[in-house]
Structure 1
Amino acid sequence: MDHVRNALVAIFLLLMLAINAQEFESQLKAFESSYASESSGAYQDAIKSITDVYKPDSYEMNLRLGWLYYSSKSYDEACRYYQKSFQLRPLSVEARLGYAYAAAELGNWTQVEAQYVEILKTDAMNTTANYRMGLICYNRLDYTSALKYFTVTLNQYSFDYETAIMVAWTELKLGKLREAKIMFQKTLLIRPSDKSAQEGLTLIQ
């Protein structure tokens, strides 16, 4: 009986391996087809390639569909699949960023901020989340918080124009005139004819 049982187990395992191999091949072909369709701008075809083999518990498929729906401007659907992605992998930064971009297109700023907050719990130095949280705080006139977020990004990308100019304006709003002047000057080293930096300097001098 043991020999029969062992033989049946072996046959079962071989069948499972064969099924898994076939399943992987079909998924691989689906992704290849999806990328080809996307490159030609045929987003609906790219989506169909994935939905034809869709597995709800596949992080990769959900993330791919989130991106494709976002690219085709179907932002509600994009949010739905990005959410499925980070529900499968709660620490995923890429899925939460994707959700935030789609939510921003829908004007859902509460959810946008919520995703950046979650990202920073996982990756406190994430430059995208810090910069965008800085923008959110700046637009709320919460300049102290804005400067904190912008500074994280500036420390990593000191020659980035977008970050440098926002740090300069935030310091000016906080009345830090000396620091603001230095940052506006540094910004001009990045973009010598920048009107925003020039305007900031005229307000200080």
Structure 2
Amino acid sequence: MKKTLKELVCLSFNTKSLILIIILSGSLSMGAIAQDKIIDAFKQSYALERTENFKGAIESLKAVYQTDVYELNLRLGWLTYLAGQVKESVEYYSKAVSLKPYAIEPKLGLVLPLAIQGKWVEIEELYLKILQTDPNNSLVNYRLGLIYYNRGNFDKADSYLEKVVNLYPFDYDGLILLAWNKLNLQKSRESKVLFQKVLMNNPDDPSALEGLKLIK
């Protein structure tokens, strides 16, 4: 019996749909298998890291490496850093940064191998980018303040360190560094108050006591 045009079109459509479903089902199955392998590789890498077998941990992830997978690049950045592979660590972390431009964790990770190389200008740029996303990040504000303090740029360090102390008013690290920064800015009264707060946090702290002697 001859089929109508409408019936032929419906048959063709149903056949194509069936083929598409089969293809998609196969792709999803392959994707699930690949994902399981990646998860297993991560699990193995953690176990090897705990035994300080960093090379083995790296190889476990390289076996399933995909250049566009953020998590693989981030993890490999960390492991290659631990293994002393500084160049490779920079490359993996940089790739992670490019894959997630607004993420903070890959930038903080990238700081690690850059610090080994003494690339403080690049580190400063990374910290400033982080603050564009998270202006109140206390860790980054402290580290930027410390960079400027070590350069002797006390004016520039001041605003970052003040932000840290405003966020964490009884934090030892923030208080002691801001106290010394204020002293270097010849703001003795503010410095004295801060050194005294340090002593409330850590009585007999030698750094705070030294600072107070200089004020007297």
Partner of 1:12: 23
Q: Which amino acid aligns with 1:54?
A: Y
Q: Which of the numbers 155, 160, 163 marks the counterpart of 2:171?
A: 160
Q: Which of the numbers 193, 199, 204 marks the counterpart of 1:182?
A: 193
**TM-score, reference length from structure 1:** 0.97
Q: For residues 185 and 103 of structure 1, what CA distance do their matches in structure 2 show?
A: 36
Q: Which amino acid aligns with 2:148?
A: C
Q: For residues 140 and 29 of structure 2, what CA distance do their matches in structure 1 show?
A: 43
Partner of 2:135: 124
Partner of 1:59: 70
SS of the residue corresponding to residue 193 of structure 1 reads coil
The Cα shift of 1:18 comes to 0.4
Q: Do residues 71 (structure 1) and 82 (structure 2) align?
A: yes
Report the identity percentage.
40
Q: Do residues 37 (structure 1) and 48 (structure 2) align?
A: yes
**TM-score, reference length from structure 2:** 0.92
Partner of 2:110: 99
The Cα shift of 1:73 comes to 2.2
The Cα shift of 1:193 comes to 1.8
Q: For residues 76 and 90 of structure 2, what CA distance do their matches in structure 1 show?
A: 10
Q: For residues 53 and 7 of structure 1, what CA distance do their matches in structure 2 show?
A: 32
Partner of 1:139: 150
Q: How does 1:21-32 map to 2 (within 5 A)?
A: 21-32=32-43
The Cα shift of 1:195 comes to 1.0
Give runs of ≥4 in structure 1 deviating > 3 Å: none
Q: Which amino acid aligns with 2:144?
A: M
SS of the residue corresponding to residue 152 of structure 2 reads coil
SS of the residue corresponding to residue 30 of structure 1 reads helix
Q: For residues 69 and 77 of structure 2, what CA distance do their matches in structure 1 show?
A: 12
Q: For residues 146 and 16 of structure 2, what CA distance do their matches in structure 1 show?
A: 65
Task: Provide structure 1 residue ranges, at least 5 long, that are not aligned to the other structure.
Answer: none
The Cα shift of 1:129 comes to 1.1
Q: Which amino acid aligns with 1:164?
A: L
Q: Do residues 192 (structure 1) and 203 (structure 2) align?
A: yes
Verify the 8 A CA contact 1:101 1:112 in the aligned structure 2: no
Q: Which amino acid aligns with 2:45?
A: S
Q: For residues 74 and 135 of structure 1, what CA distance do their matches in structure 2 show?
A: 27
SS of the residue corresponding to residue 104 of structure 1 reads helix
The Cα shift of 1:153 comes to 1.3
Partner of 2:126: 115
Q: Which amino acid aligns with 1:106?
A: Q
Q: For residues 159 and 144 of structure 1, what CA distance do their matches in structure 2 show?
A: 22
Q: Which amino acid aligns with 1:84?
A: K
Question: Highest Rg: 1 or 2?
Answer: 2
SS of the residue corresponding to residue 35 of structure 2 reads helix
Q: Which amino acid aligns with 1:69?
A: T
SS of the residue corresponding to residue 158 of structure 1 reads coil
CA offsets 1:125-162 (integer angstroms, 9 cap, x no match): 11111111101111222212101001111122222211
Q: For residues 82 and 196 of structure 2, what CA distance do their matches in structure 1 show?
A: 38
Q: Which of the numbers 24, 27, 47 marks the counterpart of 2:58?
A: 47
Supply the RMSD in Å over aligned alpha carbons: 0.9
